[in-house]
Amino acid sequence: MSRLLVECTYVYENPKANSGIQRVVRNVIRELPAKELGRECIPVVMLQGKLYEVKKLAPPPTKTWDLVSLRERLEQAANLFWLRHRTLESRHVFSQSVWARRLLYVGCRLFVFGCLSLPIRLLNLLLKNRHVSPRIAPLEHRAGDQLVLLDSSWHADFFPLAEQLKRDGVGIISVVYDLIPLTHPQFCDAGLVKVFNRWFDWIARTADGYVAISTTIRDQLRQEMVRRIGEQAVRERWFDYFHLGSELDLMDATHPVAPSLLQLFEQTEPVFLMVSTIEPRKNHAYLLDAFERAWAAGSQARLCIVGKIGWKCEALIERIKRHPQLNSRLFMFNNLSDQSLEHAYRHSTALVFPSYVEGFGLPLVEAMQRGLPAMGSDIPVFREIGGEFMAYFDLDDPQSLANLVIDMEHTGVFPAKRNLDQWQWLSWRQASAQLVERIEGHIDAAVVDRETACG
């Protein structure tokens, strides 16, 4: 029997993380095809140099803070602290004096180290060395298994174990979400660029096959592999893709929709929704530029930004918080539950998504699957996902988005070539099955090729 060992280490250790990759991992793991004749899919984690089968991905609910929750809260506090530091640094007394800025920075660094960074490091140590959870059980690998690196593994420390598995006859398959730290490093933290580049070198040497989340990324991936290891080595590997699903998996009817969000949708003016982590490549500044032009032209449309605060966004957050339209026509929510996000998708006028670059664009299918039309930047992967069902705007001209907003506000007609009534997309069950089927297709083809060569 062939076995796919589907790796989900980061999500197992960070069960409350809810960004794009974590959504994909949780949903694919939950919907893995059942055991059949000749095939078995097993979720696994690699911890402290050992392989474990995951019996339950999510921990049982608890009303007390566990160590993971405490670490997440401390990390969030550190991010917010540095946002406040950036605001304070811009004040007159610090902007006019290099020594005052240096003194402020040193004081902040000492505070963060003692009150936040050191506790976070201690928690990481405790979590790394804690006893094995009843949620997992030791798993013996065997030759012919296929290890599918589904999770965000660039920060992982399990590469020596994966290499040992490969020496023991286990195939390695890497799921690739995007190449943004390589192709657009200006949008990423310098540390991430370095770590991701090292990870990519590792998967280029180690993996037997690669599954991207769009044809756009599959083709970019192959080109980058040719550049790094040469055409001949690339021919020895296989490349494919699968598309993501659309359901929100953390829906909980016991969690009420945020009151401030309910109040927003009680008004009649149209609401244009942006859903993503707030970081440079998501291009929120363009969004503000476009809506400021629309408001200047008399538009009553409202812009609702939903997403956690990420990195390199201090100036943008300050701009939003000081904006004269804040809580009038401009709204921001940084910690919505899936229940509240579902409400926003169901009641908005359209999604707006002005990213410079994406691997897929999960909010697009989440919105469109619920009947919410989407306006997106005119980039190849959005054309792949949205086709003629989306409206597109020019990233070099904020007025192009402003015009779409104004025209839709006045006519009530969404400016796409095809109506969303004809839209169909994958469920997470179908997406998970597609991933497994495409991997198995390549494995079966490799077996046939070996038998042909031997025969």
Each residue's pLDDT tens digit, 170-179: 999 999 999 9
Given this model, what pLDDT does residue 64 score? 46
Given this model, what pLDDT does residue 131 score? 47
Do residues 348 and 366 make contact, with C-beta atoms less than 8 angstroms apart?
no
The DSSP result for 85-130, as a single string, is HHHHHTSHHHHT-HHHHHHHHHHHHHHHIIIIIHHHHHHHHHHHTS
Give pLDDT < 50 ranges for the chain. Answer: 63-64, 131
Q: How many Å apart are CA 254 and CA 96, to the nearest integer?
A: 52
Pairing mode, strands 39-47 and 171-176: unpaired
Given this model, what pLDDT does residue 61 score? 65
Q: How many Å apart are CA 67 and CA 126, to the nearest integer?
A: 8
Backbone angles phi, psi at 403, to 5 degrees: -65, -40
First-residue to last-residue Cα distance in the chain: 23
Given this model, what pLDDT does residue 15 score? 81
Given this model, what pLDDT does residue 69 score? 64
Do residues 346 and 268 make contact, with C-beta atoms less than 8 angstroms apart?
no
Output the six-digit token pair for 227: 């550049």
Q: How many Å apart are CA 369 and CA 73, to the nearest integer?
A: 32
What's the chain's average pLDDT? 88
pTM: 0.82
Residue 312 falls in which region: left (phi positive, over 0), alpha (psi -120 to 50) or beta? left
Given this model, what pLDDT does residue 59 score? 76
Given this model, what pLDDT does residue 316 score? 93
Containing H/E element for 352? Answer: strand 350-353
